[in-house]
Amino acid sequence: MSTQSTVKVVTTHVLSEMKLRGEKISMLTAYDYSMARIVDAAGIDVILVGDSASNVMAGHETTLPITLDQMIYHGASVVRGVKRALVVVDLPFGSYQGNSKEALSSAIRIMKETAADAVKLEGGIEVIESIKRILSAGIPVMGHLGLTPQSIHKFGTYTVRAKEEAEAQKLIEDAHLLEEAGCFAMVLEKIPAALAEKVSKELTIPTIGIGAGGGTDGQVLVIHDMLGINREFSPRFLRRYADLYSTMTEAVGHYIDDVKNRDFPNEKEQY
């Protein structure tokens, strides 16, 4: 029996209804047209055009180098492949922090040039003015708390966040701040499961967890990680649903052999 949502087109309103009736929200990243088509046709609720494109598409060590123009390219490619899912595009590092006017103009560019449904940005009180300004233009905002990879140079590691009481308390306050400002949902990344569950119960907007346990209202993974394309990254929270690295390596090896052996193309494969 399929457990996919029966919803036709996913909107931010649909996500809040899903939370109300206790239906879990499924979210995956995608960065290009072909992958987005597959993920959407499979029935995913939300597609995130994450700035993790900086890592898995461009090969950078961090998410910091990716630019607004590059995020717009990925976002527009994804939107062209999607019929049903809600598409959220990450605002990249440097496009919204410390300047709410610039944040608004970055978000407007994303909405105009990609036709996505919403933007996501990282942080709590530090970026609340940017969030409010973007929301004032009618652009839906997804928040992102816990491990915020754009702040890697502040924290120095990608380890679990908010294990200490003070950081957990700040995260709870930030979560309420984002909800009060008008965010429609938020990602909770790599925090203790008990804390994520507490926040999810306290909030009326949906929480989407990654490495945050089963108590959040939905789950998100990076598609290259869950399909096993990216082998190097193996955190505890990651479940691999395929081993595409092996499948693709074997297929490419097979092709190379066929070319070298003059087996490809055969008579039927030519004009």
- Which residues in this chain contact ligand KIV in the complex, by CB under 6 A? 29, 48, 50-52, 90, 187, 189, 210, 220, 222
Tell me which residue of 87, 91, 89 sits closest to 64, measured CA to CA.
Answer: 91
**DSSP letter string, 131-198:** HHHHHHTT--EEEEEES-GGGHHHH-S-SPP--SHHHHHHHHHHHHHHHHHT-SEEEEES--HHHHHH
Cα-based angle 246, 248, 252 (whole degrees, multiple of 5): 120
Amino acid at 137: A
The residue among 81 and 143 lying less far from ligand KIV, judged by its C-beta, is: 143
Smallest gap, in angstroms, from Cβ of residue 9 to ligand KIV? 22
Smallest gap, in angstroms, from Cβ of residue 184 to ligand KIV? 15
Smallest gap, in angstroms, from Cβ of residue 268 to ligand KIV? 43
C-beta nearest to ligand KIV: residue? 50
For residues 61-84, one letter each, b for 16 or more C-beta atoms within 10 angstroms of the residue's C-beta and e for the rest, the string is eebbebebebbbbbbbbbbebbee
The residue among 174 and 189 lying less far from ligand KIV, judged by its C-beta, is: 189
Q: What is the CA radius of gyration of the chain?
A: 20
Residue at token pair 């990609």: 114
Q: Which of 122, 179, 189, 197 is catalytic?
A: 189
The residue among 40 and 51 lying less far from ligand KIV, judged by its C-beta, is: 51
The residue among 29 and 100 lying less far from ligand KIV, judged by its C-beta, is: 29
Smallest gap, in angstroms, from Cβ of residue 81 to ligand KIV? 17
Smallest gap, in angstroms, from Cβ of residue 151 to ligand KIV? 12
Distance CA(185)–CA(218), nearest Å, equals 10
> Catalytic: 23?
no
The residue among 233 and 260 lying less far from ligand KIV, judged by its C-beta, is: 233
The residues that are catalytic are 189
